[in-house]
Amino acid sequence: MLTESYSVNERGHLTLGGADTVELAERFGTPLYVFDENDIRANCREFKDALEKYYSGGSLVYYASKAFSCKEMYRLAKSEGLGVDVVSGGELYTAMSVGFPADKICFHGNNKTADELSFALDSKVGRIVVDNIYELETLNSLAEDKGVKADILLRIKPGIDCHTHDYIKTGQIDCKFGFALENGEAAEAVRLALGYDRINLVGIHCHIGSQIFETQPFIDAADIMVGFAKEVLNSTGITLTEINFGGGYGIKYTAEDKPVSKSESMRILAQSVEAACEKHGFPLPKILIEPGRSILGASSLTLYKIGVIKEIKGVRTYVSVDGGMSDNPRYALYQAEYEAVVANKADKPRDFEVTIAGKCCESGDLIQENTKIQSAEVGDTLAVLATGAYNYSMASNYNRSPRPAAVMVKDGEARVIIERETYEDIIKKDI
């Protein structure tokens, strides 16, 4: 199987976290998102423990909750001692609703509204990552009105071009997020931030992209960010004490993907920051990271019921499932790769080449093209692997499809963490 999280039991059924996925589909219905709690917790610990082991300057791991935002994930992150990164009022609201410690919340976004900034200040979030000059000014005046001071990081584009899909690259100058280094925007932002008396500039942030397998971009980021912190020290006398390196650690979606382990990524990051501090003559900053996908993406799957199988002679065979781009838009959005398995025939060879289609009224509603699954029939259960990140969180009610339920499995036992939407839920806001 793709990773150790997935296995096949004596009935020939696919399992995740010790639970028989065919039984889960029968019990909870389909489409169904399934997550393995032990595996997700192990991922949290691997990042946290490795940073503590390899880095002496202090660290905090924020779970980038846009990957999968729901109450249970904030509870889980809290119980593992992680912080969370949120990028909207809605994510912040969800975190606060389960009593997430506000000082361990980091608030992001390239166009935060005044209402969202106000909500963040009222909630006393620990860090606001300021994206642009307009936000700096708005935040300062809101903080003034409320009689508080905002602890901020500035979002920097370090000018690193990593090898991933264009839509998930965020480190280069032509990108909507943050201040560029090479044209002096970042230095100007620092100067402005220091001039506002309701702003406390604590550090700098970068996030170079997502689903990255190479280690060099992170090594480069360490050198560039520490180098910039040193320039700030030289020009202003201010020592930035935190550098946030964002997320982006790649996961295994297909057998071809070869991700670096989380602990190895952390060892490399820690050593690169230490080396950069030595080179530039800068005191060790606290390292912050924000993994999203790598916390839970590969500890999960989506279950569907297979319906129509349409063989178009000489063209291709479409296998249609009872979900689609409404619960997983990632193939339609950027041709994301996935592996799929017929869950009730998981011990059989995958020798049937198909295109997996959804049930939405859209030709582009595909989950995967020209992929191999086991020989399938109507009524089989199809599992699409590694769907934990950016699936539920990107799901929609397109065609008025109710959003699926999500279950968390722990040691073979499953519990619902998000209920399936009903038709009644869908018309609830209609007047």
Residues within the interface to ligand PLP (CB under 6 A): 64, 66-67, 85, 108, 207, 210, 246-249, 290-294, 389
Q: Are 323 and 402 in contact (CB under 8 A)?
A: no
Closest approach of ligand PLP to the CB of residue 411, in Å: 26
Question: Nearer to ligand PLP by C-beta: 88 or 355?
Answer: 88
Closest approach of ligand PLP to the CB of residue 212, in Å: 8
- Positions annotated as catalytic residues are 361
Closest approach of ligand PLP to the CB of residue 430, in Å: 32
Closest approach of ligand PLP to the CB of residue 218, in Å: 12
Question: Nearer to ligand PLP by C-beta: 213 or 398?
Answer: 213
**Location of structure tokens 């998000």:** 418
Cα 347-348-354 angle, rounded to 5 deg: 125
Question: Nearer to ligand PLP by C-beta: 178 or 404?
Answer: 178
- The rounded distance, in Å, linking the Cα atoms of 299 and 278 is 38
DSSP letter string over 307-366? EEEEEETTTEEEEEES--TTT--HHHHH-----EEEGGGTTS---EEEEEE-SSS-TT-E
Question: Nearer to ligand PLP by C-beta: 210 or 344?
Answer: 210
Sequence-distant contacts of 81-89: CB under 8 A, at least 24 apart: 81/48, 82/44, 82/48, 83/126, 83/288, 85/290, 85/292, 86/125, 88/116, 89/113, 89/115, 89/116, 89/119
Closest approach of ligand PLP to the CB of residue 70, in Å: 16
Of 87, 89, 191, 182, the C-alpha closest to 133 is: 191
Question: Nearer to ligand PLP by C-beta: 59 or 210?
Answer: 210
Neighbouring C-beta atoms of residue 166, cutoff 10 Å: 10
Of 29, 60, 30, the C-alpha closest to 47 is: 60
Closest approach of ligand PLP to the CB of residue 207, in Å: 4
- The rounded distance, in Å, linking the Cα atoms of 2 and 339 is 8
The number of residues making up the chain comes to 431
Furthest-apart CA atoms within the chain: distance in Å:
72
Question: Nearer to ligand PLP by C-beta: 28 or 62?
Answer: 62
